[in-house]
Structures are given as structure tokens and as C-alpha cells.
Amino acid sequence: MDSKERVIATIECTGPDKLPYLPVFDVRRFMQDRPDDVPRIWELIRSSRPDIEILENNAPPGSEPTSSYRAMAVDGVDQWGTLWKSAYASTHPLADNGFDLDSYRFPDPRADGIFKVAEEMIAANQGKYLLAQVWWTIFERMHLLRGFQNALIDYLQFPKKFKRLQKMVFDYAMALLDYWLDSEVDGIYFSDDWGDNKDLLIDPSVWRRLWKPLYRELFGRVRDAGKHVWIHSCGNVMKIVPDLVEIGLDVLNPIQPRAMDVEQLAKDFGGKLCFYGGIDCQHTLPHGTPDDVRKEVKYFIDTLGRFNGGYIGGVSHTIISDVPMENIEALYEAFEEYS
């Protein structure tokens, strides 16, 4: 099998020849904190020959043609007017301006050049499974614009403005799909974090009423184009996984073991859903031993990957500079050994 065939067989549970895996790093954080380790990280990324290439609009200029990096530590103002400092949003344009939607200037999803890096990466990665991001899809973009607390309660305090902003952000996501679904990509990667370490952020009935219809439309459009639907949603989202599967989800990430019941996920959705991620970034990778890392990799492959596929190896979020190099090496060695 080539890379694309392998990933498709894994997602669709039709029997891949080996396990695809894609740990994701915040390489720029390593460049700041542990620059001497960066060459070894790039060596591990390249030598693993990733089967998946993650594409984004507005990727940082000069991005290398590999998706195992994250530009999370870049400071500056993004196209939405949000100021980022050390991977965190420090301003919220529609909170700072009093929720004045009329004066706020939305970015143009069709602006010249925003897909330039993506087009270069597509050309450089033929034969791989190409996964296009529509990142910070709806809720996350809204809380970046309004602030987290405001985004949770705006539907009660400012229902008309809430619906208007929600529609504007949704329309932006749909416009990105116009481009991606007409390209060579194989899947679309949405992201909205709906959980914390214990539970869903909002009542499931509220999520189903206010948000599920929008995801249904987004997912449906992707599936109608014959491509896979992926979503990154941090935390314990167990209560809405059945809804996501119902409306067309193919791949769930990041599978955080300190928030999710991994064995219950396997019991309920094994063979119906592909899982991506899992290896614990909160404890095992930063604080465990190399042997702990190897055991956890084997556990996830045995638990989630036993459905004639159904598991893409990865971590429970992003590998940052608190993870010892020996554990990073053990992670790659274990994925190779047990795949």
C-alpha cells in the first residue's frame, strides 16, 4: 500500500498493511526552549515518513513540507485581529469593541495568497493522504473573537448578535470548503474544543440545539464530495460522540486518556469511527519513563486499533518542550515496533 491507501484503509477499517502514525510537535516551542534538540526532532519526523500531510490556509511562510509541526508559539496579530502571545490569544476583537459587528472587518476567505503554502505542500506530497484544516471552525473562532466566557453565554445575553456572529463564522468555514473540496485533498480537519478534563463545556441539549445543525451541514458537504470528516475536540466529549458519528464523523482526535474512557470508546464506536491520538501528553510523555511510553503505545494500538484498522497513532494533543528526548525517541520506536 502507498501512504494514501494505508490511511484510507485505516479510517474505513478495511485492513491497512501497517499502522499510520503522526505525532504533532510545537517545534517553535522547542526552538525557544531546547534549540539543541530541534535537529533530532526533525530527523525523527523525516525518518518516520509520515503518511499524512496536514494542510492549512495561511500557513506560516517558509513552512517545511511536513505536517508534524505547529506554529503555536508565533507572536503577532492574525487575520482576524486577534493578538497572539506565546500561543495564547491576548486580545478579543469583538469583546474589545463592545460586540460591534457592524464595524468589525471580517477576513476574506478568498484573498489572494492564503492557500499559497498549501498548494506548494500538495505538490510536494503526492501519494500521501492530504488532510486540509478548517481550524477553529465555529465555537473556537467565536471565543477567540469574543473571549471564552462571553462565547459561552452570548446566546442568552445577546441572542441576535450571537446568531449573527455564528452565521458569519460558519459562512467563512463554508467558503474555505469551496477551495478545499475542489482540490486534491482526501479529508477535512475541523476543530472545536467542547470538553474539559471532566465533562462537556455546555449542556448536551444546548449543544444539540445551537451547534449540531451547523456541523451536520459542514460534515454533509464534505461527505457529499467523497472526502473524510475529521475533528479535533479536546477534553471529555463522550456525550456528543454519538451525535458526531450520526452526522458523518470519520476520525476523532485527540483522545485524551485523562478525560476520555478509552475502553468505552472502543466498545461503543470501534469499527464505526477511527481514533487518532491518545498517547498522554499530560503525564506519560513528560513525566513517565521510555518504558511507560512504549507500554502506552502498545495499549492504544491493542485497544483502539483492533478493528481491522480504526486507529491512527498520535498523541493526546501536541508534544511540547517539557517532554524528554528519550521519551520522544521511545514514542517513535514503539510506533514502528508495534505497527
Q: Is the dihedral of CA 255, 261, 267, 272 positive or negative?
A: negative
CB count within 10 Å of CB 332 equals 18
Instruction: With a cut of 80, say whether residue 69 has pLDDT above it.
Output: no
Query: Measured over all CA atoms, what is the biggest interatomic distance in the chain, rounded to whole angstroms?
Result: 56
Mind listing the pLDDT tens digit for each residue in 123-132?
Answer: 999 999 999 9
Alpha-carbon distance of 217 to 288, in angstroms, equals 42
Grid cell of 101 as nine digits: 459587528
Which residues of 37-81 form beta strands (DSSP E)?
A: 52-55, 76-77
The mean predicted confidence, pLDDT, of the chain is 93
Alpha-carbon distance of 75 to 82, in angstroms, equals 10
Alpha-carbon distance of 253 to 256, in angstroms, equals 8
Phi, psi of 230 (to 5 degrees): -115, 150
How far is Cα of residue 120 from the mean position of the Cα atoms in its chain? 21
Grid cell of 145 as nine digits: 473573537
Distance in Å from the first CA to the final CA of the chain:
14
Going by pLDDT thresholds of 50, 70 and 90, the confidence category of residue 66 is low
- CB contact set of 223 (below 8 Å; sequence gap of 6+): 229, 248
Give the pLDDT mean for 275-288: 98
Q: Contact 310/269 with Cβ under 8 angstroms?
A: no
Peptide bond into 254 cis (omega under 30): yes
- 302 three-class SS: helix
Mind listing the pLDDT tens digit for each residue in 97-123?
Answer: 999 999 999 999 988 888 988 898 999
Range ranked top by mean pLDDT from 46-55, 58-67, 237-246: 237-246
| Residue whose C-alpha cell reads 490569544 in the numeric block | 89
Give the pLDDT mean for 293-321: 98
Residue 309 pairs in a beta bridge with: 306
Q: Contact 302/11 with Cβ under 8 angstroms?
A: no
Model pTM above 0.85:
yes
Domains of the chain: 3-338 (3.20.20.210)
Which residues of the chain form beta strands (DSSP E)?
A: 52-55, 76-77, 83-85, 88-89, 129-134, 187-191, 228-232, 251-253, 274-279, 311-315
How far is Cα of residue 283 from the mean position of the Cα atoms in its chain? 20
Mind listing the pLDDT tens digit for each residue in 258-281?
Answer: 999 999 999 999 999 999 999 999
- CB contact set of 13 (below 8 Å; sequence gap of 6+): 271, 274, 307, 308, 309, 310
Q: At what angle do helices 325-338 and 290-304 cross, to 10 degrees?
A: 30
| Residue whose C-alpha cell reads 466529549 in the numeric block | 237
Q: Contact 283/296 with Cβ under 8 angstroms?
A: no
Q: Contact 186/129 with Cβ under 8 angstroms?
A: yes
- For 53, 262, 305, the CA distances from 67, given in Å and listed in that order, are 5, 26, 22
Alpha-carbon distance of 166 to 235, in angstroms, equals 22
Q: Which amino acid is at 158?
A: F
Sheet with 83-85, edge to edge strand ranges: 76-77, 83-85, 88-89
Mind listing the pLDDT tens digit for each residue in 143-173?
Answer: 999 999 999 999 999 999 999 999 999 999 9
